[in-house]
Structure 1
Amino acid sequence: MDRIGVVDTMFARYDMGAEAVDELRHCPGHGTRFEILRRTVPGFKDLGVACKKLIQEEGCRIVVALGMPGRAPIDQVCAHEASQGIMLAQLLTNTHILEVFVHETEEEDPAKLAAVCVDRARKHARNAYWLLYEPEQLTRRAGQGVRQGYTDAGPLLPPAD
């Protein structure tokens, strides 16, 4: 059975890992074709190694990494560093790790920020599933300006005939 990893952080102000796991549980084949392994780490700079361990030690075919950088400038720098670690883990393992960061600076209203967390976590979890089992779903959406957490931007130009 395949494994899909979900790694989240306890520093986040919303439980995005639970949203991602719930979305994956509703995908076809959960429990028969794939199982979900969830790990929680302290902060987003710990995500890279946790993802790498899930891939190399637990056999995950793909991982969703969720984090929530704070509002301070140092948080933005640390988020960039964490992102670099996640990218390195992808390259070292030749495995997709979908980085799902929701920056606290994206919304002032806590309810709106929570809605972004839910939407982004669920859509990226679904993207992970599609990467493994239905890549044509991603291709169908190419160039459509699809966004997680906000209204889709839409394509720049209508498709050519």
Structure 2
Amino acid sequence: MIIGVADTTFARANMGAFAIDELKRHTSARIVRVTVPGVKDLPVAAKKLIEEEKCDIVMALGMPGGKDQDKVCAHEASQGIMMAQLMTNRHIIEVFVHEDEAKNDAELAWLLEQRTREHAVNVVLMLTRPQEMTKLSGTGQRQGFADAGPARK
């Protein structure tokens, strides 16, 4: 089993290191990491990890800025990630933390780490225990901030 981790230099925390640390806590899978400048570079990085490094799944980690143009770039990156998934028939778990999701730097730092770590656990579950993911269906899980919980009548 091989897990790819693609992260960016634009992010304001070392999301790749958080992911690798968490992955190592939950699996002995080989981990291959690549770092690119920004979120729009993640689709090809993830595709290359799958095709050239034979990764079974990839985490695409990035932190789009808070300006309108950054949101457009994040959307375009997401589209590319979806295309790469369809082209390779492999999951690429997009882990984006938008800079304007946090009220201050401390909260941003916390969110960058927390969301990355929670998605790393999702990656391990998807690869090794998919039935565990099924048990979480409809439970309002959120990565980073508190879970929303299921809707109630």
TM-score range, shorter chain: over 0.9
Query: What code does the residue aligned with 1:116 have?
Result: L
Structure 2: how far apart are the matches of 1:142 and 1:22?
Answer: 26
Query: Between Structure 1 and Structure 2, how many residues are aligned?
Result: 153
User: Taking every aligned residue pair, what percent have the same amino acid on both sides?
Assistant: 57
Structure 1: how far apart are the matches of 2:41 and 2:54?
Answer: 19
Partner of 1:14 in structure 2?
A: 13
2:127 is aligned with 1:132: yes
Query: Cα offset for 1:109?
Result: 1.2
Partner of 2:110 in structure 1?
A: 115
Partner of 2:57 in structure 1?
A: 62
* Root mean square deviation, CA, Å: 1.0
Structure 1: how far apart are the matches of 2:8 and 2:132?
Answer: 29
Structure 1: how far apart are the matches of 2:5 and 2:124?
Answer: 12
Structure 2: how far apart are the matches of 1:7 and 1:114?
Answer: 19
Mark the runs of 5 or more structure 1 residues left unpaired by the alignment. Answer: none
SS at match of 1:98: strand
In the TM superposition, 1:9-158 aligns within 5 A as: 9-28=8-27, 30=28, 34-157=29-152
- More helix, by proportion: 2
Structure 2: how far apart are the matches of 1:147 and 1:114?
Answer: 17
SS at match of 2:3: strand
SS at match of 1:26: helix
Over 2 Å off, 4+ runs:
none
Structure 2: how far apart are the matches of 1:27 and 1:151?
Answer: 22
Question: Structure 1-normalised TM-score?
Answer: 0.92
Query: What code does the residue aligned with 2:13 have?
Result: Y
Structure 1: how far apart are the matches of 2:117 and 2:145?
Answer: 13
SS at match of 2:21: helix
Structure 2: how far apart are the matches of 1:108 and 1:154?
Answer: 23
Query: Cα offset for 1:140?
Result: 1.3
